Structure 1
Amino acid sequence: MTAPEAPRPTRSCAGCGRTITWRKAWERDWQHLRWCSSACRRRGLTPVDRQLEDALVQLLRERARGATVCPSEAARAVGTGEGWRELMEPARAAARRLVVAGQVEVTQGGRVVDPSTARGPVRVRLVGRG
C-alpha cells in the first residue's frame, strides 16, 4: 500500500484570481510566480479591473446585510451601452481577486463555492454578512 500523495501548494493568479497548483516545471520560480498563463501576464491588471472590484464592493455595501449581487451588475455599472457584456469575465475575475483578498465570497444556490471551479451563474456577497 502506498502512502497518500501530499497536497500540492497553490496560489492565486494576480490577474484572473484562479487557483494555480504547483507543477514540477515551476519548481525553480514558484516563489515568484504571479500569473497562471502568458495571456494573464500580457493582460495584467487594468484600471477597468480595479473599477470592477470597486463597483462590486460598492454595490454590496449599498445592499442589506447578507444580500448578494451578480457580477453582471458590476459590469453594467462600469460598462457603457451593450459594452457591459464584454466585461462579464473581467467582472468574475474581479470577484475571484476579492475572494483571495478575503473581502467577498462567491455563492451558487446559496452555498459558498470555489470561484476558480464554479460554472454557470454565481452571486457575490461580503464576507461575514451572510
Structure 2
Amino acid sequence: MTDSSSRPSEEAVEAAILSVAGQPGAAKTVTPEEIARSVATGPDWQSLLPSVRRGALRLAEAGRLILYRKGKPVTPAELRGVYRLGLPPEA
C-alpha cells in the first residue's frame, strides 16, 4: 500500500518534467512514464501518472511545455489518450 506522505508534491513532479525533458542527450520528447519512474520512490510509479498529467497540463498552459499527440503539438484542451512531452524550442 502506498503511503501518501511519501508521494512527491505537485511541484516536485513539475520540476521532474522539466528536468527529464531538458536533459542533455534526451530524446526530443519524453513519455509520462519516464517522468513517473524518475520521481517514484518505489515500484508503484503508475500511481503517479495522474500527477504527471496534471503537472504537464499546468506547464503547458503556462507555455513552459509542449504536449504532443500523434507527433503533433496539441493544446491542453485537446489532450486525449497517449501523449508525449517536450520543451518549447527556445528552452
Among candidates 70, 83, 88, match of residue 31 of structure 2:
70
The answer to whether the aligner puts 1:88 opposite 2:49 as a matched pair is yes
Q: For structure 2, list consecutive stretches of 5 or more residues without a partner in the other structure.
A: 1-6
The answer to whether the aligner puts 1:115 opposite 2:84 as a matched pair is no
Aligned residues: 84
Look up the match of 2:4. none
Look up the match of 1:97. 58
Is the partner of 1:112 in helix, strand or coil? strand
Greater radius of gyration (CA):
1
Query: Alpha-carbon deviation of 1:119?
Result: 1.7
What does 1:21-100 correspond to in 2, within 5 Å? 48-64=9-25, 67-100=28-61
CA distance, structure 1, for counterparts of residue 87 and residue 68 of structure 2: 11
Query: Alpha-carbon deviation of 1:80?
Result: 2.4
Superposition RMSD in Å: 2.2
Quick one: percent identity of the two aligned structures? 32
Higher share in helix: 2
Q: Verify the 8 A CA contact 2:20 2:26 in the aligned structure 1.
A: no
- Of structures 1 and 2, the one with the larger relative CO (CA 8 A, separation 6+) is 2
Is the partner of 1:62 in helix, strand or coil? coil
Q: For structure 1, list consecutive stretches of 5 or more residues without a partner in the other structure.
A: 1-45
